[in-house]
Structure 1
Amino acid sequence: MSTDFTGLRRGAPLGDPRLDLCDLYVFPSPKDPGRTALILTANPDASPMHPDAVYRIAIDNDGDLRNDIAFNFTFSEPVNGRQKVDVRLALQSEARVDAAVGSEIFGGLDVSFSDEPHLWRSRSGSFSFFAGARTDAAFPDSTVIAMAVELPTAYLGAAPDVRIWARCSVNVDGRFQHVDRAGHPWVSGFFPDDADRAEFNADEPNRDQGRWMGHLIELMGETGGYSRSEAIDAITAEGTLPDVLTYNPRKPARYPNGRTLGDDVADYRSRFLTKGRTPLTDFTPRQDFLPDFPYLCAP
């Protein structure tokens, strides 16, 4: 959660860029509308990932804001600049376990640090996967590590929508510490105080409204002159809290219904916080993406 609405990077969790979640994307495959891409970017240094961390994309498909499906990504110790990644698929109660549990759908795959991506497909053919260095869609001059999964849209279990978010947890002395999370884009600008941001990152989406609604209402009063009722209406309309991306695959994908790689979320977020008064006209995301999975361009 390192990107705020001004476009500046905030400090990494625990001072470690490897634990820093950047952006979460959810959109249909451009070539097959029956498939959905889930992409989590992290580590703005684009170096090997933390071997004691669990990076997770979580999906709630029944509206209780608890994980029903989780893709867990774990990385090996890097050796001579090379690294392996495992992907586990956890369902229901297993999807709520901090550790990387579930069925292994990809194991010991090479992370792509070169221009040529290693692309993988599961034995069943249902899942495609990529992990490696890619150009940051939000900051075209930056490089990040992308973890990308493409799967049949029906697997999400949308009825009619799902809620998707990401988490980074790191094993510290035998216990997992939740150090970052990602849902709506550029939310870290809501928490200029380091202690508040750390608490938010460690929390669960089902606590967001009760814990953080008052904070966001106050912030929007300061940034946009919102009254309390106006702020609540805007938060409700966007679904800002809880901090999860809502995605209805039957509707066009454009933030806040999912998020595509080319969505101008900087302008959107600035207008949201200032009640439409301040667009970010000097900030434009790149639009030249790959036509095929994993869609993000090589660095």
Structure 2
Amino acid sequence: MSHHLSGPGGRSPRGDPRLDLTDVYAFAVHGGRTVLIMNVHPDAPAKGAAFHPGAVYRLNIDTDGDHRADVAYSFVFSDPADGPQTAAVHRATGEQARAHQVGGKQLLTGVPVGLDIEPAVVVDHTFKFFAGLRSDPFFVDLDGIVKGFQWTGVDWSGDKNVLGIVLELADEDLGTEGPFGVWARVSLHENGRLTPVDRGAHPSLIAYFAENDDARAAYNAGEPADDLATHLAPFAAVLQHTGGYERAAAEQAVRTVLPDILRYDRSRPAAYPNGRTLTDDVTSARLAMVTGGRITTDHIPAHTDLLHDFPYLGNPHHARRP
């Protein structure tokens, strides 16, 4: 899996798929612009899908390489019980970008969440925004992985939907023309406080490296700046066990995914781990890593329903039901 079902017991955080981060993408498009995508809600139904109205969905951007957010886009959503769901977008910088709470300048409000084939796209000066139901671009032979790498040829997510949040930004919106790092976080208002419940950037880390429910919870609540100090040793131990690595080689491999920030140098073509496009075979990359190169592919190709233009994610599968 990528980051799907990243809560305790291999379920969604708080048992709520609306809080479940699935994937993060970063790639360039024509005109010197950059696309950032965070997807949530694995296997979202075509009817009744909605973002959690008590959650803060967030894309964090590190522009100076210190593993802390310098720019952050926060997305909050209305209660669908009050009518068609709408989104608001905020942009924070500096200290406000490092807090989990919504802060900074409100860029958009009252934007309809798109649940139909025709996406509801908003263009506002230097950026484009979309939030709504889309086809899940992630591809994997999940049953084959569960069955000990006995491949079935079936793409688990081939007919599934997610809720996508898509930004297309100008370089100045990212604060720099050089490399940057991005990660996503989902936090939930509960018991009078805002609690982080999910976060990630690199694909399939929790799926392979979290040893138990406590490790999953601690990871999801943590900060990338603390990842090496907290997770380097246990992650390296996993690679020593699954891939036959020597300790030094295991630690070196773990340092390619920790801190858990997806780095993107826009002077080079996007291809995971330099950013991530919608067709990058991240499942095979992670399989090769955790098996020490013994298994290099699950033989599942990228999806063919992707769009050439914004919001790039394919049209939703309307056969999916709650």
Question: What TM-score comes out, normalization by structure 2 length?
Answer: 0.86
Distance in 1 of aligned mates of 2:5 and 2:109 = 34
| 3-state DSSP of counterpart to 2:81 | coil
Aligned partner of 1:217 among 200, 213, 236: 236
Could you give the per-residue CA deviations for residues 236-276 of structure 1, whole angstroms, max 9, x where no partner exists?
Answer: 3xx21101100110011000000000000000100011111
Distance in 1 of aligned mates of 2:21 and 2:221 = 13
Contact persistence 2:96–2:103 (CA under 8 A): yes
Distance in 2 of aligned mates of 1:249 and 1:155 = 14
Aligned partner of 1:187 among 205, 221, 225: 205
Aligned-pair distance for 1:194?
1.0
Aligned-pair distance for 1:22?
0.3
Partner of 1:165 in structure 2?
183
Amino acid of the residue matched to residue 242 of structure 1? P
Partner of 1:252 in structure 2?
269
Aligned partner of 1:118 among 117, 120, 139: 120
Distance in 2 of aligned mates of 1:140 and 1:104 = 36
Distance in 2 of aligned mates of 1:160 and 1:274 = 33
Distance in 2 of aligned mates of 1:276 and 1:80 = 52
Question: What TM-score comes out, normalization by structure 1 length?
Answer: 0.93
**Alignment gaps of 5+ in structure 2:** 139-156, 317-322
| 3-state DSSP of counterpart to 1:113 | coil
Partner of 2:106 in structure 1?
104
1:261 aligns with 2:259: no
Contact persistence 2:5–2:13 (CA under 8 A): no
Distance in 2 of aligned mates of 1:10 and 1:143 = 19
Identity of aligned residues (%): 40
Contact persistence 1:55–1:166 (CA under 8 A): yes
Partner of 2:61 in structure 1?
59
1:201 aligns with 2:220: yes
Contact persistence 2:3–2:203 (CA under 8 A): no
Contact persistence 2:55–2:76 (CA under 8 A): yes
Distance in 2 of aligned mates of 1:159 and 1:148 = 20
Partner of 1:155 in structure 2?
173
Aligned-pair distance for 1:182?
1.7
Query: Larger relative contact order (C-alpha < 8 A, sep ≥ 6)?
Result: 2
Distance in 1 of aligned mates of 2:58 and 2:187 = 8
Contact persistence 1:4–1:187 (CA under 8 A): no
Aligned-pair distance for 1:279?
2.2
RMSD: 1.8
Question: Is 74-83 or 261-270 further displaced after alignment?
Answer: 74-83
1:127 aligns with 2:127: yes
Partner of 1:48 in structure 2?
50
Contact persistence 2:4–2:42 (CA under 8 A): no
Distance in 1 of aligned mates of 2:212 and 2:40 = 22
Distance in 1 of aligned mates of 2:59 and 2:78 = 19
Could you give the per-residue CA deviations for residues 39-97 of structure 1, whole angstroms, max 9, x where no partner exists?
Answer: 00001243211111100000011111111100000000003772010000111111122
Contact persistence 1:3–1:188 (CA under 8 A): no
Q: How does 1:8-47 map to 2 (within 5 A)?
A: 10-29=10-29, 31-32=30-31, 34-46=32-44, 47=49
Contact persistence 1:135–1:296 (CA under 8 A): yes
| 3-state DSSP of counterpart to 1:150 | strand
| 3-state DSSP of counterpart to 2:23 | strand
Aligned partner of 1:85 among 78, 87, 90: 87
| 3-state DSSP of counterpart to 1:79 | helix
Aligned-pair distance for 1:285?
2.6
Aligned partner of 1:233 among 238, 245, 252: 252
